[in-house]
């Protein structure tokens, strides 16, 4: 397949214009673009980047909010045979500088909200030659770096070469930096063909997306999950995508749901919890035919609450930056709450023990996946690549169990599993039981060593306002529904859980919060609010 000519921008945009669908709506944002408009903007972006002196496989880093310039910047890089590197907008300037230097990016595209961090980062990234600001303001740059406005880049592009580069399946297209729990984030390197593969598997065979769909994703485009939802799936079939640059909140989501009327909605479990606890009316989801969830396991009680409240089913699945998108998922008409369903067609999934042997059904093990969208490896991380990418297989780092019917259940990250009384306990199982309590809105369970160095399960929960709920109530609730050794030894009440920008639980911060002897006196209900990532 490596010799096959293929360009992701042509696949996602240009071919729809060639086939006569150029007048279809492609983008709903601060402006509405047809496929013909998007194709023209993408060609201009590609030519502009070439006009800055970029050549095949040069990296273009994007530190941008989800709007038309970011979309056309990504697609323009694909079209020109360059490598798009969208990165998290949550990084500080110092953090961003390390990633920018690691990538070897020659051009950085930014929006004004992140100008300060980008300016600081560029000073620490010696390969950067150009920085482009899409919006009002200015970038403070070293003398060696040329600054440009978006208007200047597009003016350069209108007089330049916007042709589609003769890339092949195996050409680099997209580098996505994993968040990683330790050390510098790692860039998972994806081919042009990987983009087509996720569209033909999860997009076509699970979502069954059609040209009549409109997608809206809470996860942003710099996430693997978000770029699939917002860019790959809708554009692959000539559908429409909704871009939202603001930080997600229930009110923002309600506004876009009522205004754009999307048919497919993508979120993460903690955001579904926020929606369920909000005053967003059920009618806001009247246009949505299906919701999807990924990023962390979706507890069955939360899934039922959301569907009961809004009348829309959620497809829970698991994907990863290294796999580009979801490879294990529930399906429409075949939803098993509390599980992540079965393998997406096009992927092979196995559960193995520490020696690499397949484990029997109903026994936990490490999840491995094989499929055509797996990354080529990590940039400049040989040791990590060898540990994670083993032949055709990706070692996901997740602990799973498969039942006799072939449905898979997540027990947590390999590092999240804990032993209580010498028996393995899944935090997700305890969290799911806590969420079945009618007054519990959110829950996180972590292992904390006691005075003897033995891990004990500790629960951190958010309850409904005005609730008179005590630690003993929730411990008893868990013991009524679980084996006693799985029940938390301590319950800490908080007003919020620490999360990322898209609402994914930051379990390491929960551990920091409850560090100490689990036998100590319990904290009073509703302690001070935890810090939440901006």
Look-up of token digits 């959110």:
442
Side-chain-facing half-sphere of 114: CA atoms under 13 Å: 31
H-helix or E-strand containing 368?
A: strand 365-371
High-pLDDT (> 70) share of the chain, %: 91
Integer angstrom CA distances of residue 226 from 27, 378, 385: 15, 20, 24
pLDDT tens across 238-280, in order?
999 999 999 999 999 999 999 999 999 999 887 898 899 899 9
Distance CA 75, CA 83 (A): 10
Q: Which residues of the chain have pLDDT under 70?
A: 1-3, 179-183, 414-415, 417, 419-424, 450-455, 501-503, 515-534
Strand ranges in 64-137 using DSSP code E only, listed in sequence order? 83-86, 107-110, 130-133
pLDDT value of position 481: 82
Residue 211, token pair as written in the block: 């040209």
* Cβ–Cβ < 8 Å for 277, 462: no
SS3 209: coil
Domains of the chain in sequence order: 9-15+31-170 (3.40.50.12780), 190-413 (3.40.50.12780), 418-514 (3.30.300.30)
Distance CA 424, CA 415 (A): 12
Which of 156, 153, 109 lies closest to 133, judged by CA? 109
Residue 462, token pair as written in the block: 């958010």
Distance CA 323, CA 376 (A): 10
Residue 214, token pair as written in the block: 């409109």
pLDDT value of position 520: 45
Residue 251, token pair as written in the block: 């009110």
Distance CA 69, CA 406 (A): 43
pLDDT value of position 534: 23
Query: What's the mean pLDDT when you consider all of the chain?
Result: 90
How many residues would you count in the chain? 534
pLDDT value of position 521: 41
């Amino acid at each position: 397949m490596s010799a096959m000519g293929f360009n992701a921008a042509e696949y996602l945009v240009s071919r729809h214009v060639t086939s006569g669908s150029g007048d279809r709506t492609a983008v709903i944002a601060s402006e509405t673009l047809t496929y013909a408009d998007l194709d023209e903007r993408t060609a201009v972006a590609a030519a502009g980047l070439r006009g800055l002196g970029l050549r095949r496989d040069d990296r273009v880093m994007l530190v941008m909010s989800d709007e038309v310039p970011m979309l056309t910047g990504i697609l323009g890089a694909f079209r020109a045979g360059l490598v798009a590197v969208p990165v998290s907008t949550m990084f500080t300037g110092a953090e961003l500088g390390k990633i920018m230097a690691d990538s070897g990016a020659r051009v950085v595209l930014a929006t004004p909200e992140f100008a300060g961090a980008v300016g600081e980062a560029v000073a620490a990234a010696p390969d950067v030659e150009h920085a482009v600001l899409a919006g009002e303001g200015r970038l403070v740059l070293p003398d060696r770096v040329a600054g440009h406005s978006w208007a200047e880049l597009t003016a350069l592009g209108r007089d330049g070469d916007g042709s589609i580069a003769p890339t092949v399946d195996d050409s680099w297209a997209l580098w996505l930096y994993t968040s990683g729990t330790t050390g510098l984030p790692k860039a998972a390197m994806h081919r042009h063909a990987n983009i087509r593969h996720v569209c033909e598997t999860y997009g076509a065979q699970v979502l069954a997306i059609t040209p009549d769909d409109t997608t809206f994703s809470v996860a942003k485009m710099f996430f693997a999950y978000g770029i699939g939802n917002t860019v790959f799936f809708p554009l692959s079939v000539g559908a429409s995508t909704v871009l939202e640059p603001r930080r997600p909140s229930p009110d923002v989501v309600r506004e876009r749901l009522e205004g754009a009327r999307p048919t497919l909605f993508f979120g993460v479990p903690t955001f579904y919890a926020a929606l369920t606890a909000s005053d967003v009316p059920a009618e806001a989801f009247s246009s949505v035919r299906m919701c999807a969830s990924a990023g962390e396991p979706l507890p069955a009680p939360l899934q039922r609450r959301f569907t009961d409240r809004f009348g829309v089913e959620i497809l829970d699945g698991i994907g990863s930056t290294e796999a580009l998108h979801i490879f294990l998922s529930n399906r429409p008409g075949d939803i098993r709450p509390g599980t992540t369903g079965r393998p997406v067609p096009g992927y092979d999934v196995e559960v193995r023990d520490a020696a690499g042997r397949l484990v029997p059904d109903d026994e936990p093990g490490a999840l491995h996946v094989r499929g055509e969208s797996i990354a080529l490896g990590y940039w400049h991380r040989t040791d990590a690549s060898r540990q994670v990418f083993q032949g055709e297989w990706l070692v996901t780092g997740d602990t799973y169990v498969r039942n006799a019917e072939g449905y898979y259940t997540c027990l947590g990250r390999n590092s999240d599993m804990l032993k209580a009384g010498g028996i393995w306990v899944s935090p997700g199982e305890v969290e799911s039981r806590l969420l079945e309590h009618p007054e519990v809105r959110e829950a996180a369970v972590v292992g904390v060593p006691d005075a003897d160095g033995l891990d004990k399960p500790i629960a951190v929960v958010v309850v409904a306002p005005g609730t008179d709920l005590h630690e003993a109530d929730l411990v008893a609730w868990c013991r009524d529904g679980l084996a006693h050794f799985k029940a938390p030894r301590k319950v800490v009440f908080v007003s919020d859980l620490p999360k990322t920008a898209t609402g994914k639980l930051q379990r390491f911060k929960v551990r920091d919060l409850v560090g100490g002897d689990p036998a100590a006196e319990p904290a009073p209900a509703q302690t001070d609010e935890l810090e939440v990532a901006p």
